[in-house]
Structures are given as structure tokens and as C-alpha cells.
Structure 1
Amino acid sequence: MASSAIETDGQEILDLEKNRQAEMSQWVLNAPEPPSLWRELMDSARETVLPRGKRFPYLKDKDGLSKTVISVLQAMFPIFSWCRHYNATKLRNDLLAGLTLASLCIPQSIGYATLAKLDPQYGLYTSVIPPLIYAVMGTSRDIAIGPVAVVSLLMSSMVPKLEDPEANPIAYRNLVLTTTFFAGIFQAAFGLFRWLGFLVDFLSHAAIVGFVSGAAIVIGLQQMKGLLGIAHFTNKTDVISVMQAIWRSVHQYWNPHNFILGCSFLSFIKLTRFVGKRNRKLFWLPATAPLISVVLSTLLVYLTRADKHGVMIIKHIKKGLNPGSIHELQFNNPHIGEVAKTGLIVAVIAITEATAVGRSFASIKGYHINGNQEMVAFGFMNILGSFTSCYVATGSFSRSAVNFSAGCETAMSNIVMAITVIISLELFTRLLYFTPIAVLSAIILSALPGLVDPHEAYYIWKVDKLDFLVCIGAFFGVLFASVEIGLLAAVIISFVKIIIFSIRPGTEELGRLPGTDIFCDVNQYPMAVKNSKALIIRVKSGLLCFANANFVKEKIMKWATEEEENDSQGKRTVQVVILDMSNLMNIDMSGIASLLELQNNLASGGMELAITNPKWQVIHKLRLANFVTKMGGRVFLTVGEAVDACLGAKMAAV
């Protein structure tokens, strides 16, 4: 009697457990339909227009509508958020930071304009309008806006292929402005349409490290033109052409006065930087050293009339504020396709550099920057900049570091800097007539060591060898071919890396950790116990599609066949293959067809197929394809339930 009661209770518990498993399986099978493609696109567009986390319903009352308008304006123009809490203390700090920033910005901007093969005033123009627009629309407190070395190199290496800057400087300048317009259009599109942001992600961190390091070396070599006083120089940017040009020029003609002057002030700037690092309170010394160098060298050349003895000087810098240039944009130019391509490349590089700069300082101060809003801000500042004689502006690491060290509080420091540059354009351009070009080259050279980062390259090598391959591909491509080849090499290697991981995804056999219901890779966790009657496999891929479905099917069949051969030797008797789909985010028709073929092949070998934890889109497509019915409904929520259900049923049958 007691024995019968125990058997009855055991049977009831077993039935309850089976009912519970069946109910949980129905949770998977009866999930609602996932959002349609149209719904996902609409949600993405809504998130683009409205701030993240805020949904504004239609409000009829006046106060509610005004709050909605204010919230939208604050999202589009962050200045409305931080200016409400602005005070005299913050203004004092921003004023000091902005003036310190301007002392570095003015000589650097002139130098970068010459690097971009433009007249010096265009560097100053680029330090006026873009910083003002970014202060209104940007979300970073520390980033300093203006021309930078890498973007200037891109301009001087790509646009001269379309128009010679020496033979026709006006046409060259117009193409640069048109390139700036296209760069702004692309940047704004990246931010407004979030699904376009993937274009920026193709340049990984490793690619940027290699690209910037190679570009820094090329920029440094090109500055030998000003440092040696060479009148004619190559337009090519690869290191071999530049070295050949330097070698020819040195053997033919170079002026030692330029070299001595440039090296002297380069040593002075380096010395002030060393002193500033040793004593943080003297942060202003390395920041103002470039401006001091310009003032002292200009005064020295003027007093000694060194320009009469071969010292190359800037000469005329046009006085006045940014002239309008919308009528100079060349949309009917026969090279408009190449100009747009250059604009896309420059846009991606500029955004990537600025985002890295902004996030690095934001993480130090503990605030968040909005990536999409940053893209929109950069886009609009470059679009409007192209209308006002500016070339592509972005965030500068060296000037942002000075801004940060000077104690900036908000983007007001950019406004102070822009106002200072405006005053300089109106009052002081004539004083720069005798500024030696060798000193501008020295200023650019002093900023380059921070762009070459061998420690980061070694770190990439240590962590990820394939990423290091991307890094050196970009580095050697820029160094020995061209800027475009370097970027193309980095993108191609990144694509190959993605394709390899996509078409050859890994698979792992799972076992149960002792004393738990956790199943994990038996190679990573040797203590995990494999089930003698179940082969449990997890695919390490987010997508089962035409590119990898056949590979995954053959891998699983090979695994099952090996287990079947082991069965003939009495080692293991596999009755069911359980496929853990917890990593799989989506599947296409080729993936479904491969699963059906796998099911048939396993059935012909006397084995069954079960799947666990399929994601929303995956189970929806499997149901529509009638695959769940064809496999006997063996769909479970967890691997443990699949093992218990499948093996329990077989044990009962036996």
C-alpha cells in the first residue's frame, strides 16, 4: 500500500513536471509577432527626432505645449540646457580657458591652413564660425573646435589631384570649400539618420591609431619644406616621394637661416612643454609658447630684415571677418563625384577623431556626450562653415587638452576663443606679415609626437592580432602609398575580419557544471560534465544565413557522426542533438533550409533535433516556415528542460 502511494505521488510529480515543461515550451512557441521592418524604421526615425527616453504626446494646454517645445529645443541646442545654470564663476574659468586656447589656436590655425595649401587667413576663418556653431549645438564641454593636422593633410593630398593649388589657387580653394560642404552634409546625415552611422564604425579604433600615426609621420616630413626653406616641393604624400623631394632639395638649394630659426623655436616649445608637465600650475606656459614663438620670431625677422637673406615669411594675411563663399561652391564642376568622395572620407575621419577626443575628456569629468547630436553639430558647423570661407573643422586633441587643463566649464570657452580670433582678424593681421614659415612648421612639428602612439599599437598587438593587422595596414598604407590607400587597406582588412567571423562561426559543445543547471563550453570549463545521451551544441554567431548556414550544418553533422562512431566503440550513445540558439539573433531562408536538412540527416541516423531559447525573430520565422511542426515541436526554453524532456521521453518509451 505504502509502495503504491509512493509510486502514485512520484507519477503525479512527474506529470506536473511534464506539464510545466510543456507550458514553458508554449511560452516560446506562442510569443507575439515581433515588430515589422516598417515599425522598426519608424521607431528609429522617432528616436532621431525626439530625445532618447522622452516621448511627447499631443498636449492641448498651453503650458504643456511650451514644455514640449522647450524640451525639443534643449535636445537640438544643448546651450539652452547649460546656460540656465551659468554663473560668474563658470564665466571666469571659461574666459581664462578661451584666452589660453586662442593663444594656441591662432598660430596653429595659420600653420594648418598652409599645410592644407590654403592662404593663412582660411585657418583663422575656420576658428571663428565652426566653434560658435558647436557651442550652440555640441554636447561636449571640453572639446576645442578648429582646423587639425590630419584633416589638413587629407585636403592637401586629395584635392590637388583635381586642381593644382599653385597653378590655380582660386579653383583649388573653391574645391576645398565644396569638399567641406559635402563633409558637413554627410556628418549631419550620420546624426539625423542613425542607421547611416555604421559607415563611421568601419574605421575601428585600431585603424584610426594606424592611420593617425602614419599621417603624423607624413605631416612631419612635409614640414621640412618650411623648416629648410624649400620653395618647390612635391604634392605627393607617400614617405618615399617626400624623402626624395627633401633629398633633391637639400642637394640643390636650402637656406640654413630657416633651419636654425625653426629648430630654435621648436626647442623652445619643447622645453616649455617639459616644464608644463613637471609643474601643472604652469599649464599656460606650453599653451602660450606657440604664440610667444610667433611674436618673438616675427619681431626678430622684422628687426634684422632676415627676409632679405632668404628667410621665408607669410607676407600678406587678408584683414577682416569671414567673407561669404556660398557662391564659390562648385556643384557643376566635372570632378563633383571625386569631391563628394573626398568629402565622405574627410567626414568620417573628422567625426571619428572628434568623438574620440570628446569621449576621452567626458569620461574624465564624468559626463555623457550624445554621439548623434555631435554628428549633427559637426555637420551643421561645416555646412555653414563652407558658406563662410571655412574648410573642414573638427575637435583637436592638443587644443582640447589645453582647454581642459585651463579649467574650462562649458562650451563658452569656444565662444571666447572665436571672439579673440575675430579681434585678431580685424586688428592684428598686418603684424603677422613678417612671421617666418619655419616657425609655423616648428609649431606643427611640436604637436605631432602626441599623434604617434607606439604604446597603443603594442597594446592592440597584445590583445588582438587581427586588429593589429588592421592597424599596420592603415599605417603602412598611408606611409608608403597615400591617405586613400591607407584608409582603404584598413577598411578591406576590417571587412575580411568580419567576413571570416561571419562565414566561419565557431561552435562549442556544452556540458553541465556539477551541482547546477548551468550549461557551458566544455573546453573553457573542463569540469563541465557531458551528457552521454545528448550532444548539446551552441553556435557562436548572431546570424544564421546564406553565408554560414551550410558550414554550421556540416560542423554539427561532423560532430554527431564522430559521436556515432564513438558509439560503435561503446563510449557514447547519442540519442538527441540539442541546438542552443541563445546567441542567434536572426535567421534567413538559407538558415532555415540548413536546419531542415540537419533534422532529416539526424533522423536518418536515428537521432532527434531539439532547439532551445530561440530569439523573437528566429522562432517567428521558424513557425512561419512550419519547421517547428516538422521537427515534432521540440522547442524548449532552457537546455536543462530540453535534456530532461527529450531523454525522459525516450527513457519512458524504453
Structure 2
Amino acid sequence: MFRTPAVDPLWLYRLLPFLRWMPRVGKESLRVDLVAGVTGAIIVLPQGVAFATIAGLPPEYGLYTAMVPAIIAALFGSSWHLVSGPTTAISIVMFGALSLMAEPGTPYYIELALTLTLLTGLFQLAMGIARLGTLVNFISHTVVIGFTAGAALLIASSQIKNFFGLNLPHGASFGQTMLGFFHRIGEINFYVLGVALVTLLTGMVVKRFAPRFPYMIAAMLAGSLMALALNHYLGDARTGIRLLGALPGRLPPLSLPDFDPKVLGQLAPSALAVAMLGLTEAVSIARAIAVRAEQRIDGNQEFIGQGLSNIFGSFFSAYASSGSFNRSGLNFEVGARTPLAAVFASIALGIILLLVAPLMGYLPIASMAAILFLVAYGLVDLHHIRAIFKASKRETAILLVTFFSTLFVELEFAIYVGIILSLIFYLMRTSRPNVVAVIPDPGTSPHPLSASAQLPYCPQVQVVRIDGSLFFGAVHHVEQRLAELEQQYPEQKILLLNARSINFIDIAGGESLAQEAKRRRKQGGDLYIYGIKPAMYEVMERGGFIRALGSDHIFAHRKEAIRHLFPLLDAETCARCTQRVFDECKALPMPLSTTAS
């Protein structure tokens, strides 16, 4: 009888991850997911317009980015609550990368943005397939904090001309913009400034006293009403208040990136930076919410979900997207239970766009500038910045270098610099494990090892603990520390190594231990090890280092090692010793001079 071959469920879940949470879907979950989706659609409406403006794209592209990519990321990611779409950090990086190649807002600029999005998705998908989900663990959170703080100032500086109604050069650097502002401060248009201030203050008040109401929408309404009144009574020629213009009332149109190899080569470095930044944002947000939702996140699956969302998005007029902290947090708070909430949000946003697109024509550009000022302020994480300054000089250095690189250098370079610094400091920490001489504490039971210099020590045996991995990068430091301890206690010829805290060893580490044993034996001493973990023992055995050390020099426990060592110690030295460090020492008679006294 013919039987259908069984399908591996693990493989099927990786290919179609939405099958994992489909059993959670029911009448009640559909209801709460629908409510969460509609709420998220309302929130992203002003955000999408603002973020597209930051990216140098027409406003509707921010809304397109919150539709198709969000659906794909929800279906092929692993998080129940992560909502993808346009983000501030990616928008500012895209503007920095593309504004040097084309005029923002032009058809060629849009084509480059779509091409960059496609490349970003391909990089992310490739990393997900290669199971490189743990890569984001090596990107310090300090890099993201420093980058977003710098990006906040760039966003604010880019909107100064619209906020104050000044004629400043387009695409100027941060320094040039601030210098131009101070030179033309006497040319401020107070009608424009008034609209911007009303928008800004309304947003701040609503956010402070009515946090449940979408403060951006309230701010936009207040600014639009004031602009409408001023233009009606004074005329727009006198006020100089410019309006955004109506959005096209249509769903995301099909689009085609540029497949020219030359263009792809030019955009590849920026795309890699955007890919890493987007993955860091998405996985960090997903993990933060998963802790509260008691869910486990698969980093590799998130890579795949984000990659597919950007690949598909590039063919549906969307620019590079990632996880949105505001929308994802809101999605969890309002009770969403499955990723269908993100799907419902995208559908609801499409309906809202068709209905309200003409009304966006009454939105003043000054109000958009004020909204972006609010966005910029929210990006500066003062709490964590203060904590970093207090806690660590190295993290402070990473923060400052990333921050100033963001302001004064190319944005993708700032990301790379921050990541490289994080990796350098990580390698420095792991390559300098703590190597300390320890002594059994006779005042406690069962005599745990202590590093206190006040305790008596054995004149013949030195017990040393290594806290960290013994690999090629750490070998020199460990050898140096062992040499220092040997110079400090030259009479201790025998080294007893506590290996309980060594989680990993490589060939270089094994060779180092073998050479240390060989050197000490030439000087009349020896090397013994106890507490080796199975993985470490396996590497040392395969490399022949157990044979070099001697299998009778490897022990499971300290007491077992001391029992073996004790008969090998110099009897005369033990007879004169008054320290009584080990339990075996206490069975010996005290020296005659001590007894007589």
C-alpha cells in the first residue's frame, strides 16, 4: 500500500511560520486583533507621512511602506506583536545615502529608494537563510542610542527652514544648516512660525494630558485650522504659509527597482548598513515585547521575515521598513493576540488612505516640520544616555563616536563605526579573562576558594582560576598573568588550574596549557587541572593536549586533585609549614618551634 511520506513539521514551520500561531486564531482573537489593527492604522497615518518626508520621498510612500511590507513581515516573522513599517532611523539613513545621488522627491530618487529597499531585503534574507540571527547580539545597544540621538538632531536641523519659514539651501550639512540659520535669523516668517508653534504645543499638551488620543493627529488639526484661518483673512501670498498638497487616493501601485549593475554596486554599501540597522531595530523590539508576552523569538526567522517584507515592498512602492517600536508597543498594549493585527492594520490603512487623502492637502508644511520636531525629541533617550555616562567609559566612547559620526559624517559610515567599536571592545573584554590566584577559606564550609590576600597560602601549590574562554585572542593575556603570579610567588612550583569557568578552548589555548606544563616540569614543578567541562575536554583530547599534560593530571574536583598532589609535595617544606591551607595539611604535626612556643 502506498503511503504519503511524512512532512517534517519543523521544516514546514520554517517555510510557513504562520502555521505556528494559526491555532491561536478564534472569534475572540479576531475581534481584539481587528481593534488593535484599526488603532494602529490611525497611529501610522501621521507617522508615515512624517517619515516619508524625512526620507526625501513623497508623503504617500510612507503610507505605502506601512501596508504590503507589514503584512509580509507579520506572516513570515516569528513575533506575535511586531509591526513593521517606516521608521525614523532608516528614513534618515536613506535620505543621507540617496540625496547625494539624486534630487529628493524626483522619479529617479524614488527609483533609487526602491532599488535600495530591494538590496536591503536581499541582504536580510540571505543572512536569515544562513542562520546569522545572532549577529545582532554583537551590535551594542549604545550604537543605536548614539545613532538615533544624532539622527534626531539631523531631523530637527533639516526642518528648521520649514519651521521658521526661512530660505535655506537644500541638502546642506548639519553645520552648514545651523550656520545659515543664525545668519538669517532676522528673516523669520512669523506667520509660518506661529502655525508651527501651535502645532508643536498642541502635540505636547495632548501627549501629556491625553496620552490615549493620537497626539500627532490633534497637532495636525490645530496647525491646519490656524493656517486655514490666516490664509483666509490675510491671503497666502502675504502669510507665505505653504500647504502639503493632497495625497493620491489610491492603494500602493506596482513599481520596479533599477537592476542596472552599476547602480546596484553603488547602493550595496548603503543597503548593507540599512539592512543591519533594520534587523537590529526589528529583533530588539520583538525581543523586548516577547519578554512581556512570554513568547520566544526566533532571530533567524525575523531576518527572513524582514528580508521578504522589503523584497516584496520594493515592488509595491514601499521603501525600506523595519519594526516600529511605537506601533508594536501599542499593538501589545491594546491586546493583540496574533500577527493578524498587523494585517488588519494594513488593510484599514488602505481604506483610510482612500477616504482622507484629499484632506491632507490642507496640512501646512510648517505643521509637518513641528511634527518632525516632536519625533526628533522622542528619539533622544536621555535616561539611557545618562546611565551610559555614569556606568562605562568604553560605552560612553561608543556613544559619542557614533553620535558625532552621525552628525558630521555619512550616516551609513556612522553605523559601521559604531558596530566596529562595539566589536573591538567586545573582543577586548573576551580576550582579557580574569586570572586570579585563589585559596581555600578555612573560615567557611565547605572551604570555597577565595581571592583574598589575607588568607594563608600554600608555599608549594598555587591554585589559579581563569574566568573566561581560553582562545587565541586570550592566550597572551593568560600567559602574561600566569607569569606575573609566578614572579609574585616564585616558591610555588606546582600550578593547580581551576577550569570550571572556562567555557571554551581552542587549539591555541590547548597548546598554551601544554607549553606551560612543559616549562614548569623543566623547573621542577608541574601543572594539574580540575573541573574541565566536557566540551573543553573533547577539544583537548582531539588535539592531543590531554596526552601532553598526562591523563593523571586531570581531575574532576579540587579535593580529588589535592589528594593526588599531597603525597608528591616536598615533605621537609610541609614539616616546616604553619599555614595548614588544605584539609590534608591538618593531619600533619605542627613544627617543633611552634609547639614549643
TM-score of the superposed pair, with normalisation by structure 1 = 0.79
Confirm or deny that 1:223 pairs with 2:159: yes
2:363 matched residue in structure 1: 435
**Measured at CA, do residues 126 and 271 of structure 1 come closer, stay the same or move farther in structure 2, by a change above 3 Å?**
same
Deviation at 1:319, TM superposition (A): 3.5
Give the equivalent residue in structure 1 for 2:272: 344
Amino acid at match of 1:439: S
Q: Residue 240 of structure 1 is aligned with which of 175, 190, 196?
A: 175
The whole-number CA distance in structure 2 between the counterparts of 1:413 and 1:307 is 42
Output the amino acid matched with 2:66. S
Distance in 1 (alpha carbons) for counterparts of 2:302 and 2:278: 11
Distance in structure 2 (CA, Å) of the matches to 1:519 and 1:416: 59
2:127 is matched with 190
| Letter paired with 1:104 | I
The answer (yes or no) to whether the contact 2:85–2:322 under 8 Å persists in 1 is: yes
3-state SS of paired residue (1:325)? coil
The 8 Å contact of residues 50 and 368 in structure 2, kept in 1 or not, is answered as: yes
Paired AA for residue 451 in structure 2:
V
Note the residue ranges of structure 2 that are not aligned, 5 or more in a row: 575-597
The correspondence of residues 397-476 of structure 1 with structure 2, limited to 5 A, is 397-476=325-404
1:303-351 superposed Cα distances (whole Å, 9 cap, x missing partner): 568544421222253342222223xx22325243331111111111112
Counterpart residue type for residue 171 of structure 2: N
Equivalent-residue separation in structure 1 for 2:11 and 2:550 (angstroms): 53
Q: Which runs of 5+ in 1 are unaligned?
A: 1-59, 278-282, 568-573
Q: Give how far 1:75 is off.
A: 4.8
**Counterpart in the other structure of 2:107:** 170
Which residue identity lines up with residue 542 of structure 1 in the other structure? S
Instruction: Name the residue aligned to 1:560.
Output: 486
Q: How does 1:113-152 map to 2 (within 5 A)?
A: 113-152=52-91
Q: Is 2:562 the partner of 1:643? A: yes
> Within 5 A, what are the aligned runs for 1:63-142?
65=6, 68=8, 72-142=11-81
Offset of 1:152 from its aligned partner?
Answer: 0.7
Q: Quote the residue 1:597 is aligned against.
A: 515
Q: Could you say which residue in structure 1 is the equivalent of 2:466? A: 539
The Cα shift of 1:72 comes to 4.8
Q: CA deviation at 1:191?
A: 2.4
Q: State the one-letter code of the partner of 1:640.
A: K
Distance 2:502 2:232 in 1: 74
Deviation at residue 266 of structure 1 after TM alignment: 1.4
User: What secondary structure, in the 3-state scheme, does the structure 1 residue paired with 2:500 have?
Assistant: coil
Change in Cα spacing, 1:203 to 1:78, as seen in structure 2 (3 Å) is same
Q: Note if contact 2:463-2:498 (Cα within 8 Å) is conserved in structure 1.
A: yes
- Corresponding residue for 2:149? 213
For residues 56-108 of structure 1, give each alpha carbon's deviation from its aligned partner in whole angstroms, at most 9, with x where no partner exists: xxxx855x836x55x65455444444443434443333333322222221122
Equivalent residue of 1:428, what SS?
helix
Q: What residue is the counterpart of 2:433 in the other structure?
A: 505
Partner of 1:49: none
RMSD of Structure 2 on Structure 1 (CA): 3.0
Return the match for 2:297 from 347, 366, 369.
369
Contact 2:44 2:66 in 1 (8 A): yes
- Closer, same or farther: CA 448–130 of 1 in aligned 2, 3 Å: same
Q: For residues 148-183 of structure 1, what are the alpha-carbon distances to aligned partners after superposition, in whole Å with 9 as ceiling and x for unaligned?
A: 1111100111122233336xx222211111111111
**Is the contact made by 1:298 and 1:432 (CA closer than 8 Å) also made in structure 2?**
no
User: In the alignment, which residue of structure 2 is the partner of 1:202?
Assistant: 138
Tell me the distance in 2 between the aligned counterparts of 1:371 and 1:109: 26
User: Against the structure 1 CA distance between its residues 534 and 192, is the aligned structure 2 distance closer, same or farther, given a 3 Å change threshold?
Assistant: same
Out of 513, 530, 546, the position equivalent to 1:628 is 546
In the TM superposition, residue 361 of structure 1 has moved relative to its aligned partner by: 2.7
Does the 8 Å contact 2:46/2:217 carry over to 1? no
- Cα shift at 1:404: 3.7
Normalised by the size of structure 2, how large is the TM-score? 0.86
Counterpart residue type for residue 487 of structure 2: T
Question: How far is 1:427 from its partner?
Answer: 4.1
Summarize deviations over 1:441-476 as a string: whole Å, max 9, x none. Answer: 222222333321121122233333322322222222
Identity rate, percent: 27
Shift of 1:486: 2.9
Which residue matches 1:608?
A: 526
Letter in 1 for 2:421: I
Q: How does 1:484-495 map to 2 (within 5 A)?
A: 484-495=412-423
For 2:337 and 2:108, locate their aligned partners in 1 and report how far apart those are by CA, in whole Å. 41
Q: Deviations over 1:466-503 (max 9, x none)?
A: 22322222222223434234323322322331342344
| Contact map agreement 1:534 1:643 (CA 8 A) in 2 | no
Q: 1:632 to 1:131 in 2, by over 3 A?
A: closer
Q: What SS does structure 2 have at the residue aligned with 1:443?
A: helix
Could you say what secondary structure the match of 1:610 adopts? strand
SS in 1 for 2:260: coil
- For 1:27, the equivalent position in structure 2 comes to none
Partner residue of 2:250?
A: 320
How big is the shift at 1:383?
A: 0.7
Deviation at 1:577, TM superposition (A): 0.6
Describe the shift of the 1:225–1:554 C-alpha distance in structure 2 as closer, same or farther (beyond 3 A): same
Secondary structure of the corresponding residue to residue 210 of structure 2: helix
CA distance in 1, matches of 2:515, 2:38: 71
For the Cα contact (< 8 Å) 2:242–2:364, is it kept in 1?
Answer: yes
